[in-house]
Chains A and B, each alone.
Chain A
Amino acid sequence: MHEFIKFETQPKYVIGDLVKMNLERYEFFASDNFRRYSFYSVGPKRRIKKTVVYSKVQEGPVIYNLAFGDEDIITGEIDDKIVTDNEDRDIVLATVANTINAFIDRYGNHFIFAKGSTPSRTRLYQIGISRLINEISTDFDVFGVIGDKVYPFKTNFNYEAFLIKRK
């Protein structure tokens, strides 16, 4: 049984009608400027706060980086190196994908860049995307970067990073 935690009131974000993905996800909360999103992964072991932050990394074409990881509830710092194993990987990934929709609704349909902080973390992203690609691709075009080339995402390829664009 989790302890009761009372936070300050803030409206929850409601996903718009454009979302076609048919995936189970967590409810998430957005910051005032809709650049930072948090949700709780709840598994058999514990509850973990997950946070997604979007920051602009270039103009022409505009690209936003998606930083994602576990947030320390005390310090507010994010870390993606922690292995939480909460048995909800697909739900977490679907929730992150939904934050992309929420972000794009506010900031426009720009490219979103995602890369793990280590090659093994990027590989985990790749495995997750591969597992859900049929659902994800109803809303998004996904690309993978290898060397100095950008390819349409395919399963069984090892990419260095990913680019996502809403259809």
Chain B
Amino acid sequence: MPAVKNTITKTASSHGIISETVKNHQNDPFVLKQAAAAKTLLNRPGVQEQLKELSKKYEEKA
């Protein structure tokens, strides 16, 4: 099936879902665990240095 630009080809309503209330809570144990793992990896010294450099490049580009 060819993709269509910016078009939702699979709608929720076509499966009997009219609309949905999405909960706001950020304290899901899975979310907290994932965030902690992200922090650990991002805190590697080389990663931080490169991210700062990359960030600068994007700022200059903007």
Contact = CB atoms under 8 A, between A and B. Distances in A.
Interface residues of A, number: 66
A116 to B, nearest CB: 9
A149 B41 CA distance: 11
B42 A57 contact: yes
A78 B22 contact: no
A91 interface: yes
Contact of A31 (B5, B10, B24, B29): B24
25 contacts: A2-B15, A4-B16, A7-B17, A7-B18, A8-B20, A19-B6, A25-B10, A26-B12, A32-B24, A33-B24, A36-B25, A40-B17, A55-B31, A55-B35, A57-B38, A57-B39, A61-B52, A63-B38, A78-B30, A88-B10, A111-B54, A117-B34, A149-B47, A150-B47, A161-B38
Interface of B: 1, 3-6, 8-13, 15-26, 28-31, 33-35, 37-39, 41-42, 44-47, 50-52, 54-55, 58
